[in-house]
A and B are shown apart, each in its own frame.
Chain A
Amino acid sequence: MNPPNSQLDDMRRAIREADPRLSRFDPLPRIICLDDFDRGMCGWTQLVGNYEHSLDAMLPGYAQHSHAMLSTLPNWDFGSHGGVDGSYALKIATRPKKGAQNVAIKRLTFRKAGPIRIETYFTFKPEATELELSETDIRSFGFLYDLQVGDSHGTGGERVMPHLRFLNAENGVHLQKWQFKRKTTPIKPIGTAGKTITHYHLSPEDWEDLPGGAQRLCYNEIPTKVNWHYLRFDFDLATMQATGFQANDRVFDMGAYEPIRMPAMRNLWCMLNIGFFAETDTDKRAFAYLDSVCLSGDF
């Protein structure tokens, strides 16, 4: 961390708390990006899988992905829901098939291997195709980073992929707990040039319960109403360890949390990718929505 400078911190905090766009976030000293989807897509795009020569080489888990949308959360019974403080949110929609997933991603690099913080206001709901509560139709909403050390790191450098999901339900059972994963699928070469590989880090296997991670989120009373939730995840790029996690009023112990780790890859130096994903538990589309995202760092 930077040495404390209380006068500067106090001034920074006063300025931010006077700004309605920032006052609902608790960013670290430097804001890397403040993505309010009332301003557009803000650099969030579709996670496409790797391929060479033919799209047929793409793993099915990635082939199912499609582009996120700018949504007013429109509903058949009362119309547009809107965001926390504007008309639009980023919408991540799965296909209507049990187990289907979709991911929205933002691709950056970092300029200092230090603490970073991601904050978002999010919600999720199933497509309201039935006049039922449908509270177990969403399997999960989640978040991931895809990180790699800088090229001057030396031997032993890693690509690190912290994952965190709210497992809402599985096979119709309402579970409502936060999970992480430390394993991905085996690395698979793609094509013939020897330059590209793939693996499916969002495979349904190998999720582990975060100790103490049970949480009942506000879901509301019909499948067209949503309430926005706050999420904060802290990670240290120097140690490549999670340092904090909060969802709404709950702060969770991350002592047992581990990210996926693998040897550094030859072209991903200083990578800082951020992803959010949705997963459906029924043959119904799952919708995850981000009102806004704030990524900040201590540098």
Chain B
Amino acid sequence: MLPENLTAIVARNEVWTGDSATEPYECGWAREAIVFVRALKAPRGALPKARIEISADGMHWAAEGSQFDLPATENAVTFQRLGHFGNFVRVAASLPEGSEITLLVAWHLKA
């Protein structure tokens, strides 16, 4: 059987302001991951870097160290590759006051 290969949409048309994060995604079976972030509408204000966070239990989070740009224009796509990440992953960002982005976030995971 071919190894598991999954695209999981974890945020769809979600509006991020302030401290925001995707819902925890449990994927300890995956050896590698890439997360794609697409802006569904034109973002407003200055955009910070997004960061990857990892967790053993889905409740207590640590910054994994990877940071990447949020998409700056409507339908622009950014991504981050990830390996060796344990069981739970999420994308988080802290947007300054007045900034806003509407997102589609897709994890692509491979065993």
Could you list which residues of chain A lie within 8 angstroms of chain B, going by C-beta atoms? 39-41, 46, 48, 55-56, 58, 63, 66-67, 69-72, 74-76, 88, 91, 93, 95, 127-129
Q: Are A39 and B26 in contact (CB under 8 A)?
A: no
- Whole-angstrom distance between the alpha carbons of A129 and B24 in the complex? 14
Residues of A contacting B57 in the complex (Cβ-Cβ under 8 angstroms): 74-76
List the A side residues contacting B87 at CB < 8 Å: 72, 74
CB pair A66–B23 under 8 Å, yes or no, is: yes
Chain B interface secondary structure, helix, strand, loop or mixed?
loop
Which residue of the partner chain, among A56, A58, A70, A75, contacts B27 with CB atoms under 8 Å? A70
The segment from B8-16, B42-50, B71-79, B92-100 that touches chain A is: B8-16
Does B13 contact A67, Cβ atoms closer than 8 Å? no
Least distance between B23 CB and chain A CB atoms (Å): 6
Of B23, B40, B59, which is in contact with the most chain A CB atoms at under 10 Å from its CB?
Answer: B23
Q: Please indicate which of the listed interface residues A39, A48, A66, A128 has the most CB atoms of chain B within 10 Å of its own CB.
A: A66
Chain B window 26-60, contacts with chain A (Cβ cutoff 8 Å), 1 for yes, 0 for no: 11110000000000100000000000000011111
Contact check, A67 vs B10: say whether CB atoms are below 8 A apart: yes
Given contact pairs A67-B25, A93-B23, a sample of 11 additional A-B residue pairs in the complex whose CB atoms are under 8 Å apart: A55-B13, A55-B40, A66-B11, A67-B9, A69-B26, A69-B27, A70-B27, A71-B26, A74-B58, A76-B56, A129-B59
Closest residue of chain B to A76 (Cβ to Cβ) is B57
CB pair B12 A63 closer than 8 Å: yes
Residues of B within 8 A of A74 (CB): 26, 28, 56-58, 87
